[in-house]
A and B are shown apart, each in its own frame.
Chain A
Amino acid sequence: MKAPLIKIKNLRKAYGNFTVLHGIDLEISQGEVVCVVGPSGSGKSTLIRCINHLEPFEDDGEIIVDGIPVRPGRDLADVRAEVGMVFQSFNLFPHMTVLRNVMLAPIRVRKMNEADAEKRARDLLERVGISVQADKYPGQLSGGQQQRVAIARALAMEPKVLLFDEPTSALDPEMVGEVLDVMKKLAGTGVTMVVVTHEMGFARQVADRVLFMDGGNIIEAGTPTEIFDAPKEERTRNFLHAVLDH
């Protein structure tokens, strides 16, 4: 069997006396699509924000991405170049055109030349259906369009892993679908994806594995069928009952 792409061992994090993550162990293989679900405050966002060290974590824990340990220092930029992230609030750069947003990191981090970076950016914008708006500024786009640009921006680095931190939670309901469609297409291309989401339909349809988190622990993990149709844990059942049955 192949070595896992992401290896998380005893990941712990606390804010003062409040523990957010209680020693998480998790391995994610190349090409796997993992959806993380659970109630607010369960630590799921914190978990994926630790993977690219946007959140620092306790020293005795360990995260290894593609053989590189995630810790402050010189290697961190290398890890981050391989780990793309899509945020709940898009976080596009408002003073740059959509095209420039997508070109920036390949030019600055990968040292790609302008022409190649532009070609790649235009291809990616085409893929996410934003090619017409390439020369607009983010503020001129709808939320759904902005989030699709953010996905293109992350893809421009050709990352080994894409992290999605509640990518549809800030969107108007009618725009959720267009973003999920892009993500579904992406999942079919063999990119490794870790998706924190409240979209149970998406998780059921796309995930190879679903993790249910609560109170800073992974309570249950399994295939979508195992988690959604036959949850073993009481807490999983309660959560699914609350979000699905109404």
Chain B
Amino acid sequence: MDLFSTFFNIPVLVASLPQLLNGLLVTIGIGITSIIAGLIGGLFLAVLRLYAGPVTNALVRGYIDVFRSIPLLVLLIIVYYALPFVGIRLSPFFSAVTALTLVSAAYTAEIFRAGIEAIPKGQFEASAALGLSNRYTMTDVILPQAIRIVIPPLTNNCINVLKDTALASVVAMPDLLKQATQAQALSANPTPLIGAAVIYLILLLPMVRFVARLEKRFSRGRT
């Protein structure tokens, strides 16, 4: 068998394509759910850290440090295989979403904190002097300005979350990678794996380009 029919076997690819596309839907489902939950959690943590007292602050910092340190695969396996021992039984989908969200929220919180801290102190002071509540200071003054700063790193984080969804295959989640390995086993040909890799690239390359463009525009705007 020549190289081409081994790695780029069109009939095998065509046969496995429906399976791969099903896997892609699962991957996107896990990814988007985790990204949205992580954004909400991260924003909540960042604002909490800004306004809460020293004890809460230390707790939030502890959370962020722990979940930025723990390997995602380890966390996922703990959620899926260890938590049932204390009666918490999550489906593969929710195990993956839980692990990804916990980690993504930690990174997102740091991104938002950096974005909020980049806003000059005078903006907080002007808001306070006008009598704006903390809530309106955030929603009307600080966050709209911080959003522009955090979009490139947030998009980077989205890319990471989407890539990390592949780990869900170890908890028997029929995501893109899992479908590809199954199709590979079935057809005794690695083409479905190549197909999956190409699909990941089609999904993520535009986002990577997008971040690069944003970062370039951002740094140009600053000088």
A residues with a Cβ closer than 8 A to B are: 52, 54, 77-78, 80-81, 83-85, 87, 89, 91-95, 104-105, 108-109, 153-154, 157
Contact = CB atoms under 8 A, between A and B. Distances in A.
Interface in B108-140: 120, 122-123, 125-126, 128-133, 136, 140
Given A91-B125, A94-B145, A104 B140 contact: yes
A87 B141 contact: no
Contacts of B132: 104-105, 108-109
Contacts of A87: 122, 125-126, 129
Contact of B128 (A80, A93, A108): A80
A81 B126 contact: no
8 contacts: A77-B131, A80-B130, A87-B125, A91-B123, A93-B123, A104-B130, A104-B132, A108-B140
A27 to B, nearest CB: 22
A77 B129 CA distance: 8
B135 to A, nearest CB: 9
Interface of B: 120, 122-123, 125-126, 128-133, 136, 140-141, 144-145
A80 B131 contact: yes
B136 A91 contact: no
A81 B132 CA distance: 8
B131 A157 contact: yes
Nearest to B133: A77
B63 to A, nearest CB: 27
B122 A89 contact: yes
Contacts of B136: 108-109
Contacts of A81: 130-131
Nearest to B123: A91
Nearest to B140: A104
B123 A54 contact: no
B130 A95 contact: no
Contacts of B133: 77, 108-109
B144 A95 contact: yes
Contacts of B128: 52, 54, 80
A44 B130 CA distance: 21
A109 B123 contact: no
A129 to B, nearest CB: 21
A173 to B, nearest CB: 22
Contact of A84 (B122, B125, B129): B129
B123 to A, nearest CB: 6
B141 A93 contact: yes
B125 A105 contact: no
Given A87-B122, A91-B123, A95-B145, A52 B140 contact: no
Contacts of A95: 144-145
A72 to B, nearest CB: 11
Contacts of B140: 93, 104, 108
Nearest to A109: B131
Contacts of A94: 145
A79 to B, nearest CB: 8
B122 A85 contact: no
Nearest to A53: B128
A52 B123 CA distance: 15
A153 B126 CA distance: 10
A81 B140 CA distance: 17
A87 B127 CA distance: 12
Nearest to A80: B131
Contacts of A153: 130
